Structures are given as structure tokens and as C-alpha cells.
Structure 1
Amino acid sequence: MSNRGSSNHRQSSVSSFRSRFSFTMLSMFACMASLYVAGRLWQDAENRVQLVQELDKRTGQGHSAVSVDETLKIIDCREQQQKLGALQMELEKARQEGFVSNSLAGNGATDGKKKLLAVVGIITTFGRKNNRDAIRKAWMPGGAASKILEEKGIIIRFVVGRSANPGDGLDKDINNENRHQNDFIILDDHVEAAEESTKKVKKFFSHAVEHWNAEFYVKVNDDIYVNIDALGSVLANHLDKPRVYLGCMKSGEVFSQPTQKWYEPEWWKFGDKKSYFRHASGEIYAISQSVAQFISINKSMLRSYAHDDVSAGSWFIGLDVKHVGERKFCCSSWSSGSSLSFSPLLTPQPPRVLVFG
């Protein structure tokens, strides 16, 4: 028994000695490593000092090294300049998109110009010169009368795109007509095509709100007469509403067969597949400035359906926009003479007053 106890005691002593030895060796290695690292850092610092001194001698400058504080100040200054430049860019973008108050925008109400009541865009295309000439004779004043109308708050322009073959006879005809009449908005980034009518309307609203500061923006087809007096009165009645979508409101059947005239390729998106959501008839409708700004800002994301009036109605679903059904914009009122518009354009029925006043 004593021998076994003695053996255990010796084994324990040996293990204890080995542990102490291992700890001592590790401590020595750690100390040597620390001294080595410290020495290298000191040597690097000495080398940098010698290099700076040598540079001073060769350049003749007393102090070429920049302190840490000075370096931090330079970096901070550069960061502040970058932030300031970014803020200036954001402010300019917000100004262009109409999200800056009049006191900051530097245009519209602050540039000495009276805010317009409406910008009216007459959607037209190639081969419709007879319609345009009839409108000019009927309700769209030209020359001095046009200037008077603009001073009173309404601007009227025909809206057209470009030919699929740039510079061809179609483009030249429009350019010549505009040179004589000076009453077009020519969308250089839009190619005229029947299936692109929705994109054309979207680009008109975007262009108009970017170039004119108005209460309302109005889309009109080029085959109707418009009573400018009545139009101005109707719009003025809604100046107190911040977001307005004004027109002859309807729903209508969704046509799902390709052989049908008003076929809608994406008919399956419209709920029960039988009727559209509420939207204004495409002959004539108006939107307020903030709504036009929404279109301008989000034009690349707004969906284009087969028909421009349905598409316009879809853009305002989910928005806090007041849908106003106005009987004077409806076909049913034309025969009674109480409307502000008449269709078709070449009807013998005479137009109303030509100048809003």
C-alpha cells in the first residue's frame, strides 16, 4: 500500500513540474514576441522619421509631414463638401419635381408670373391636319388672341410625337406646320403609333408639368370642340381641392376577345373580368398639378393598358385623389347644348366662345 502511495505522489510531482515548466516557457515566448513586435514598431517609426527628415533636406521644407489632427480635418472637410453637393443635387431634383415650396423653388409664384389655370393638350397625330385646322378656326385662338388667352391663364397646344423613320416627310410636315403656327408640343422621345397612345398621354402630362406651373392639366382628343369659357368655369370650381381627377366617370365592359373593337389583352387583371374600375372617358379629362407631378415622377413605373383612359384611371387607384364626375364632360350632355364639348369635330353645330375670360 505504501509503495502505491509513493508512486502516485511521484507522478503528481512530475505532472506539476511539467505544468509549471510549460507555463514558464509560454510566458517566455510571449515576452519575447512582445519585445520583437515592439522593436519592429519602434524601428518602423524610426525609419519613417528618417525618411521624413531626408525628404525635408531634399525639398528644402522644414515640415513636410501632416499631423493626424490636420489629416482628420481635411477628410472631414471633404466629406462635408460631398454631402453639400449631394444635398444641392437633391434640392434641384425636388425643385424640378414640384416638391419644394414656392419660397424655395424660385419659379412659378415667386418669379413674378401668375400661376396658370390650365394647360390643355390636344392629342393629335400625323395625317390629322384638317382636324387641327378646324380646331384653330373654331376654339383654339392663334396669334395675338393666343397671347391674350395665355395671359388670362390657359395654354393650348397640340401634342404629337415623332415618326418611326426620323426626319422623313411626316416629321418635316409637322415641323413646317409648327413653324407657321407655333402651337405644338413635339415629343421627340415618343414614336407615333396607335398602340402607344397611353405612353403619349403620360409623356404629355410629364412634359406639361415640367414646363408650366398650372392648377390643372387637361387632355383632349383632336376630334371635339371645347367651350373654353365653360371649361374655365368648371376647373375654377375645383381649385379648393388639392388632388382632383375630373371627367365623365364610367366603368364599362372589359372585352376579352381579340376580335372585339375595344379588346383588352390584359382583361384578366380586372376583377370579375366584366367591368373596368372607375375612370374618366378619354375624350376630355383634367387632373390637378399634384396628380400630374405624380405621373411625371413615376412615369417609368406606371402601367400602360390598351386604352389611355383606362390606363390613366389605373394610375390613381390607391391614391388620395378626388374622382369628380362632371356631366359637362359627358357625351350625353352634348345634344342638350349644356356641355363644354361637342363631337364629332366636323359637326355643323357651331362652337361656343373661343376665349376664356
Structure 2
Amino acid sequence: MQSRGSSARLSGMAFRSRVPTLLLSMFATFASIYVAGRLWQDAQNRVYLIKELDKITGQGQSAISVDDTLKIIACREQLKKLSALEMELAAARQEGFTSKRTETTYTNDAKSKKRPLVVVGILTKFGRDKNRDAIRKAWMGTGAALKKLENEKGIIARFVIGRSANRGDQFDRAIDNENRKTNDFIILDKHVEAPEEFPKKAKLFFAHAADKWDAEFYAKVNDDVYVNIDALGATLATHLDKPHVYIGCMKSGEVFSEPGQKWYEPDWWKFGDKRSYFRHASGEMYVISQALAKFISINRSILRTYAHDDVSAGSWFIGLDVKHVDEGKFCCSSWSSGLSPSLSLSS
């Protein structure tokens, strides 16, 4: 016969053994309720998804995946939130919470950010600082005058140059020093300056300019050409209604097939009768519209270049729906001994 003490101990042990069992039972109950609730919620979601699909597709069964459906519903929720925000904004305006000063400032900013008329890239080389200075004095300007040209006439002018094959040498340093004083260069860091790479530099200029400036036109000019800025602006203004326009002094030109000749073309055999190029603008200066500059920017890695930049540019537009404009004012009309050519852009 057990004593009272031993009975008490047994009762205590039985009570302690019941506590974990009770906790496990409670946990199992809550887990069952949670799982059942999630299953019910999932079922409700599926019903909702099916109804949404029926509304969208007008069919009795799902025509797209559940993932796509979730995306559609998410989009609808975003639209609902956007609509609610628009309603709140409209209500706030009615109650006078919109600042008139802010609206005026925005309007003025929009006007001041008018699209530039043209970005002029003056392709230059190392050791041509005298040519650049002459252009700055003749028509481009420096400092405030250059800024005025941009703000009042919408004409952005920059010298375009690459880097030396010996990166960081005296040529690179000279250009960097000059640019620190004038701030009027586009320096193509990934382009190596070399005579045979000139056509690639023209392509990179158009691509860079199209990426940096949202202009109506983009012009390539040599660094020995003097331009009548007012006449250039007036001429380009007459072509604003042409989205795909290529303007220049159009020519065909002879293809030189002998390696020793000055204008030798390694790919001479590709051009028709092997004697004449296709129609293209002379390289002293030519202008393209924004759409064509964007085309060059997008396709820069696959656009072919030939021995000359003007022929290369002309080749890019042959297969496109482009308006070729033979502009006599873009032809170099006067060549004098010891003087640089000037474009006859007279008003």
C-alpha cells in the first residue's frame, strides 16, 4: 500500500504530463484553424481570379495563366490608387492648395527649356589650336558669347576630338588644358585620334550629341570652315517640317581604287561601276535631323564606315526613307591662297 506522500508525488507527475499534452492540443487546434483559414482564403482568391478573368476575357474559363492574372489585378489596383490620388489632387486644387507661384515657375522653366535648333560638331585634331581660335573669333564665340549663341539662337557649337594613342601624353594634356579655359569641347574618351579613324569620329559625334542634346538638327563641320550662323539658322528653319532630312552640298564623286592615290578607297569595288560613289553630302559640312541622329546612336555598333566620313554618312541613309536636300549654300564657294574655305551661307 502506497503512502500519502507517494500518492501526492504520482498526482503531481500526472498533472505535469498533462500540461505538454494540453499545449500540443491547443497548438494543433490553432494550426488547424490557421490552415483552414488560409485554404478558405486561397479558395476565395481563386474565385475572385476566375471572376476577373471572366470579365476580362468574356469566356467561361481562364484564357491566361494565374501569374498573368495576378499581374492584371495588380495593374488594376495601381490604376485605382492613381485614380484616387488624382481625385484627391483635384479636390486639393478646388480648396486652393495649389500654389500659383509654382505653376508660373514651371511654365517659365518649360519655355526656357525650348529644344535647341542645331548642335554643331566641329571635328578637329591635335595641333590645330590656331584653327580653333580663328573659329572662336569668327563665328563661334567664347564664354558669354557662346552661351548667348545657345540661349538666343538655339545653336550649340562644340569642337570634337578623341584621345591620343598614348593616353595622357602631351597631346591629351594640351586639349584638357584648352578645354579648361574654353569649355567648348566634346572629348570622345573611347576614340583614338588617327587619320583613318576620322569617319568613326563623325559617327561617334552624332551618337554622342543625340544622346546628350534633344535638338532639331545635328551638323558636322570641319575645323577650317567658317559658318554664317544667322544664315544657317534661317536655312534650317525652312526644314523643320521634315523629320527625316539630310542636308548638304550633294555630290557623287570619283572612287579612287589605286592605293597610292590621296583619296584611296579600300572598298572601291563595292560602288556601282567602281568609279563613282552614290549621292552624298560633301564633307565640309552636312546636317541631319534628329531622327537620323537617333538612328546613328542606336545602330552605332553595326554601321559601316568607309575611307571618308561624308561617304560613310551617306551610306547610312541609302536604305532609309530620307529626304536628301541639295543645299547650294552648304557648298564651299570660295578658296583663296592661304585662307580657309567658307560656306556661302548668305541670307
Normalised by the size of structure 2, how large is the TM-score? 0.69
Q: Render the CA deviation track for 1:110-161: whole Å, top value 9, x for unaligned.
A: 5851111111000012111111111112111111111111012101000011
Contact preservation (8 Å) 1:121, 1:156? yes
How far apart are 1:70 and its partner, in Å?
Answer: 8.4
Structure 1 residues 128, 70: CA separation in 2 closer, same or farther (over 3 Å shift)?
Answer: farther
Structure 1 residues 82, 209: CA separation in 2 closer, same or farther (over 3 Å shift)?
Answer: farther
CA distance in 2, matches of 1:263, 1:352: 28
Query: What is the match of residue 148 of structure 1?
Result: 148
Contact preservation (8 Å) 1:159, 1:186? yes
Contact preservation (8 Å) 2:334, 2:341? no
Matches within 5 A, 1:23-62: 57=28, 62=33
How far apart are 1:79 and its partner, in Å?
Answer: 5.7
Query: What is the match of residue 318 of structure 2?
Result: 317
**Is 1:133 matched with 2:126?**
no
Matches within 5 A, 1:179-258: 179-258=180-259
Query: What is the match of residue 14 of structure 1?
Result: none
CA distance in 1, matches of 2:171, 2:340: 30
Secondary structure of the 2:285 match is strand
Structure 2 unaligned residues grouped into runs of 5+:
1-23, 50-65, 76-108
CA distance in 1, matches of 2:322, 2:343: 32
User: For residue 276 of structure 1, what is the amino acid of its counterpart?
Assistant: Y
Query: What is the match of residue 307 of structure 2?
Result: 306
Structure 1 residues 138, 351: CA separation in 2 closer, same or farther (over 3 Å shift)?
Answer: farther
Structure 1 unaligned residues grouped into runs of 5+:
1-52, 84-108, 336-342
Secondary structure of the 1:150 match is helix
Structure 1 residues 233, 111: CA separation in 2 closer, same or farther (over 3 Å shift)?
Answer: closer
CA distance in 2, matches of 1:112, 1:328: 31
CA distance in 2, matches of 1:349, 1:295: 28
Cα RMSD after superposing both structures: 3.4
CA distance in 2, matches of 1:81, 1:225: 62
Pick 1 or 2: higher relative contact order, CA cutoff 8 A, min separation 6: 1
Secondary structure of the 2:34 match is coil
Structure 1 residues 58, 124: CA separation in 2 closer, same or farther (over 3 Å shift)?
Answer: farther
Normalised by the size of structure 1, how large is the TM-score? 0.67
User: For residue 347 of structure 1, what is the amino acid of its counterpart?
Assistant: L
Query: What is the match of residue 115 of structure 1?
Result: 115
Secondary structure of the 1:176 match is helix
Structure 1 residues 348, 199: CA separation in 2 closer, same or farther (over 3 Å shift)?
Answer: closer
List 4+ stretches of structure 1 deviating above 3 A: 56-83, 109-112, 348-353
CA distance in 2, matches of 1:78, 1:197: 54
Residue-pair matches, total: 270
CA distance in 1, matches of 2:202, 2:305: 10
Deviates more, 1:280-289 or 1:136-145: 136-145
Q: Render the CA deviation track for 1:72-94: whole Å, top value 9, x for unaligned.
A: 879457766999xxxxxxxxxxx
Query: What is the match of residue 7 of structure 1?
Result: none
Structure 1 residues 79, 196: CA separation in 2 closer, same or farther (over 3 Å shift)?
Answer: farther
Secondary structure of the 2:276 match is coil
Aligned-residue sequence identity (percent) comes to 63
